[in-house]
Amino acid sequence: MKCRTCRGPAIIDLKAHNANFCAEHFLAFCREQVARAIKKHRMLAPDERVLVAVSGGKDSLAVWDLLLELGYQADGFVIGLGIGDYSETSTQYARDFAAVRGLTLHETSLRDDHGFDVPTAAAVTRRVPCSACGLSKRHLFDRAALEGGYDAVATGHNLDDEAAVLFGNALRWNTEYLARQRPVLPARDGFPRKIKPLIRLGEREMAAYCVIRGIDYIVEECPMAAGNKHLRYKEALNAIEAESPGSKHAFYHEFLARAADLFTADVDGTDAGSGALGACQRCGSPSSNEVCAFCLLVERTAGAVPVTLRERAGADR
């Protein structure tokens, strides 16, 4: 097995790309894929400042590292979600990554700064934990980017993530979600631009990237996400990919090339767009209601007895 670039011994085979690489040229391949995604989808201009949404997992640390390698001004932002040891450990990985490299990492804690945590929010709202978690992350990343004057928020969504979300949306032909599933969401209505620079790289590549670059990250999946639909969609696509390498790439990127505009045109045709939003009376964030969904969550969870993961696991039995 020889490196496609230098013909030296390869350490990784990428079936979807029909290529093998040595460590050095695999890293170059990853940088090139990110640079291509950024250029093709006009994610960032060279002088723009970007805030990376960091979890402490392989994808968010890799995208931060890759953006820096490509010369962008990238700071990090990590949220303490209060999911027991999982959150503490993953936040520590983010801190260590930043400290060793002398990077700026902003931090907030749901419990300390906003009075709740994800397990408690899930119990109070009686919804899946991913719901309150996603809402909180979107809100806090957006606000941090605007307050810090960043041009964009970068997330570590990789090809496997995006293909799984696309599969879920296509399974229900949720045309509104299909219309919005893009690698770049332009700044709009007071929200910052959102970009996904890893859409040309999969989970396996990101894990290999971190190992080769010596980036320590939390390997465990979030304990509250176990068994969710997103993971099932990934498994289904992995089975297809194993038999037909490149299927995931084609599924997501052909969607962008051939189908996404059809859904966008349809949604734009039936809905005149959201127009300018008002501001949340409490936090000032853009919102179509008087109080934004995050501030409502803060209100609903205020005073609730904190649910630790241990108690929650017991209650489920």
**Residues at the contact surface with its own copies, assessed by CB under 8 A:** 170-173, 175, 229, 232-233, 235-237, 239-240, 243-244, 247, 250-251, 254-255, 257-259, 262-263, 265-266
Nearer to its own copies, 67 or 163 (CB): 163
Q: In angstroms, what is the minimal distance from the CB of 263 to its own copies?
A: 7
Token pair listed for 35: 């640079």
Residue in 122, 106, 10, 108 with CA at minimum distance from that of residue 64: 106
Tell how strand 193-195 and strand 278-279 pair up: unpaired
Nearer to its own copies, 189 or 261 (CB): 261
Q: To 5 degrees, how large is the angle CA 38–CA 186–CA 292?
A: 135
Q: In angstroms, what is the minimal distance from the CB of 295 to its own copies?
A: 33
Nearer to its own copies, 250 or 313 (CB): 250
Q: In angstroms, what is the minimal distance from the CB of 199 to its own copies?
A: 15
Nearer to its own copies, 5 or 264 (CB): 264
Q: In angstroms, what is the minimal distance from the CB of 252 to its own copies?
A: 9
Nearer to its own copies, 67 or 164 (CB): 164
d(CA 26, CA 13): 10
Q: In angstroms, what is the minimal distance from the CB of 240 to its own copies?
A: 6
Q: In angstroms, what is the minimal distance from the CB of 127 to its own copies?
A: 17
d(CA 86, CA 54): 14
- Return the residue matching tokens 């990554």: 97
Nearer to its own copies, 73 or 174 (CB): 174
Nearer to its own copies, 2 or 229 (CB): 229
Token pair listed for 260: 């996404």
Tell how strand 152-154 and strand 184-185 pair up: unpaired
Q: In angstroms, what is the minimal distance from the CB of 236 to its own copies?
A: 4
